[in-house]
Structure 1
Amino acid sequence: MEDSDSSRRRFLAVCGTALSAGIAGCSDSILGGDPEDTTPVDPDPSTPAPDPGGDGGADGTAGDFERFDADADSSYADVYRSTVGSVAQIQVYTGGPSPSQGTGFVYSDGHVVTNQHVVEGAESIYLRFDDSGWLDATVRGTDVYSDLAVLSVEELPESAEPLALRESDPAVGTEVIAIGNPFGYSGSVSAGIVSGVDRTLPAANDFTIPDAIQTDAPVNPGNSGGPLVTLDGSVAGVVNAGGGDNIGFAISAPLVRQVVPSLLETGGYEHSYMGVRLQTVGPHLAEANGVDERVGVYIAVVRDGGPSDGVLRGTTGSTAIDGQSVDTGGDVVVALDDTTIRTSRALSSFLALETSPGDTIDVTVLRDGEEQTVELTLGSRPDPT
């Protein structure tokens, strides 16, 4: 979970199209101009928006749940039927002229998980389920570094049961569906597969969100905070960003399992912190630093006064290779405890999923061509600025 230049460059290179096309990770303001969007936004749940009723057919409006065909016979339909009642449309008022919107899902009795950016700056929050009116919600806890938040709701409808979280990431190629409220069309479902795992997403202060899931299931503004569900009905991740062609991302269920209990208990979460800046070892770094296997994580910078100060070594010089300046002298991390570390993504995932602040871990490094192991006591990541 350390800041990583290489992981950010990879993300931006892959997602340039997604960012230019629109980000599901940015809460969507209610959009006008759609001929079907005839239901006015109502900030006061005591006077709810008109319900056109009926079966949600051609006259259905944005913001109204589409009724599914009870006779539909497919795995997607089965999963949708079993989970949609636990998915909420969220409207957030921040003092602007119109609300932003997102999605959430029931985590436990009275608690809904969504994205932190969906509720950031909220003055009031309302949500509704498939068979409920607008309900008041309050923020129970948030974590900007994982982009997760928990909302408290006094009374959930009976059909809004907690969704199970997967204990591990699904395999690449696993079929998934995303349920949410893109552009206000509540209860929408899109389908795809898991395109990749162990991705990194940008977070505050140049940190990253590790262990993210990549999917080609279409996600758009308004899907933020909704569940990415495998066909056994369990949540693989919380939709975070998307909008490009066939590329979307979700915060993994294992990371949700790690963060959310603390949000419920304390309102926040403390992330393990090494106090270093990382680069994944490539051909140039390997050649410059005498690393034969061209794998591992190079320590570019050790933060003054941080947990690694005096324990690990950062860059001490540079050399030119193929006309480029390449850092030299820093430690190359090849293992944490008994886990082999080949990339900065692997290091970040290990810290996020296997450690807590205050833990002491064994760090195996290559230093001056020799392998050695040092003990490092992890700190807590600084508060975002």
Structure 2
Amino acid sequence: MNISKKALKSIILSIIILTLLLVLSGVVEASYKKKLLGNLARDITALNSFQFTDRESTVKSIANRSELSPEELNNMDIYKTLNRAVVNITTKTLSYNWAFEVVPKDSGTGSGSIISQDGYILTNYHIIENVYEVFVTLYDGSEYEGRVVGTDIENDLTVIKFDPKGKELTVIPFGISNDLAIGQKVLAIGNPFGFDRTLTTGVISGTGRPLHNNSGYLMLDMIQTDASINPGNSGGPLLDSTGKMIGVNTMIYSKSGGSDGIGFALPIDSAKRSVNEIITYGEVRRGWIDIDPIELTPALVRYANLKTEKGILISSVIKGGNAWDAGLKGGDKRDAIRYKNSVKYLGGDIITSLNGYKLETISDLFTALQDTKPGESVSLKYIRGNRLIETKIKLSTRKK
């Protein structure tokens, strides 16, 4: 049974006080007073010289590691090596007080992974969305002010930078995620509900899961795991059995708000592309087609009497842009409709695929262009009248 320092001291002190009371009150026979006082002096000496051991030293003092399974040893070694590379991220937002003055207010918490010795941290965008200040707390309790370097909203990623002031940092190495197998062991380290640097383990339950993030973008190829992920774990690393980061813990599927054994992480291969862009340019540069797109709906298909039910209708083409140069056609301004909160034009080309990826929604269009760069060429298929046409188009830079 483990007894804390405080509890053990309290027990010993209680015995000493009780003994003193008995002696001083005369309840104890005179023949025993000398003996009790001698024992009392001994207990006080023992209390002063008592050596307590903390949890960490107790764990380190395991005499025979051969008594532990290889699975346990692997978990322990990875945690011991990498837990210091996981940080707690706290944020503040601006709000109004009773006097309608703007004041900072504690917002939320999350996790992050140190990815370089000079203080770059990888985490989720939704942790720092619309915040006023960001703070980073290391394993030893030291706190630093963080600066948002850049974000990738489509992948729910953010890179934060803090100044370690010469402190040596533990860095989590990147792995690869294109060859993951269902059943493969994974470990998650994070700060669920504020419990710092918590380790949970599990397996990869599925790969290639498409999910929409909080900003509405479709995230492809998400890793599904049964490793327990709870609020506060977001932004922390998902590790393989070699201690390499294979994913960024991002979201859970839950009816209760807690872990129901279905957590999701962004594959590290996707994250690496974003991290390099953010650190270099402060943003993720992606390719774009210079059009005003409209997502086809059943009502729009019926109204315009279209011959296809799925695709991206081109309302207009930017003059002099890449779509203009490629010969794509926008709608007729004489055939205008009210579409949501804007005016759109019917009669334009309908894009059905991009680089072989079928386009049915606006989200599909963003997803198909997610891994592209300005200047690259892509293949488009589109419908004009009764014809299906294929062409190449050189991508421009997507505007924010």
Return the TM-score normalized by structure 2.
0.61
Larger radius of gyration: 2
Of 161, 166, 189, which aligns to 2:176? Answer: 166
Q: State the distance in 2 between where 1:312 and 1:198 align.
A: 35
For the structure 1 residues 137 and 359, does the alpha-carbon distance in structure 2 shift closer, same or farther, using more than 3 Å as the test? same
For the structure 1 residues 362 and 343, does the alpha-carbon distance in structure 2 shift closer, same or farther, using more than 3 Å as the test? closer
Q: Alignment identity in percent?
A: 25
Of 151, 156, 167, which aligns to 1:142? Answer: 151
**Amino acid of the structure 2 residue aligned with 1:102:** G
Match of 1:223? 233
- Post-superposition Cα deviations, 1:83-102, rounded to whole Å, max 9, x if no partner, equal 22211111222245434211
RMSD across aligned C-alpha pairs, in angstroms?
A: 4.1
Q: State the distance in 1 between where 2:387 and 2:317 align.
A: 25
- Cα contact 2:186–2:238 (8 A) shared by 1: yes
Q: How many residues align?
A: 300
Match of 1:49? none
Output aligned runs, 1:319-330, within 5 Å: none
Deviation at 1:199, TM superposition (A): 1.6
- Cα contact 1:86–1:163 (8 A) shared by 2: no
Match of 2:252? 242
1:129 aligns with 2:138: yes
- Post-superposition Cα deviations, 1:252-297, rounded to whole Å, max 9, x if no partner, equal 21221111122112222223234545689xxx9xxx9689xxxxx7
- Cα contact 2:314–2:350 (8 A) shared by 1: no
Question: Residue 265 of structure 1: SS of its match in structure 2?
Answer: helix
Output aligned runs, 1:60-99, within 5 Å: 71=65, 73-74=70-71, 75-95=74-94, 96-99=104-107
Deviation at 1:331, TM superposition (A): 4.3
1:261 aligns with 2:276: yes
Match of 2:287? 272
Question: Residue 242 of structure 2: SS of its match in structure 1?
Answer: coil
Q: State the distance in 2 between where 1:253 and 1:187 align.
A: 20
Q: State the distance in 2 between where 1:69 and 1:363 align.
A: 64
For the structure 1 residues 273 and 209, does the alpha-carbon distance in structure 2 shift closer, same or farther, using more than 3 Å as the test? farther
Deviation at 1:106, TM superposition (A): 1.3
Between the two structures, name the one with larger relative contact order (CA 8 Å, sep ≥ 6).
Answer: 1
Q: State the distance in 2 between where 1:240 and 1:224 align.
A: 5
Question: Residue 352 of structure 1: SS of its match in structure 2?
Answer: coil
Of 341, 344, 348, which aligns to 2:357? Answer: 341
Question: Residue 361 of structure 1: SS of its match in structure 2?
Answer: strand
Q: State the distance in 1 between where 2:112 and 2:358 align.
A: 35
Match of 2:213? 202
Structure with bigger helix share is 2
Deviation at 1:371, TM superposition (A): 5.0
Match of 1:106? 114
Deviation at 1:346, TM superposition (A): 8.1
Question: Residue 98 of structure 1: SS of its match in structure 2?
Answer: strand
1:373 aligns with 2:386: no
Structure 1: stretches of 5+ with no match in the other structure: 1-52, 58-65, 292-296, 317-327
Question: Residue 145 of structure 1: SS of its match in structure 2?
Answer: helix
Of 353, 358, 377, which aligns to 2:375? Answer: 358
- Cα contact 1:167–1:254 (8 A) shared by 2: yes
Return the TM-score normalized by structure 1.
0.63
Match of 2:200? 190
For the structure 1 residues 94 and 348, does the alpha-carbon distance in structure 2 shift closer, same or farther, using more than 3 Å as the test? closer
Structure 2: stretches of 5+ with no match in the other structure: 1-52, 95-103, 255-259, 336-346
Q: State the distance in 1 between where 2:263 and 2:294 align.
A: 27
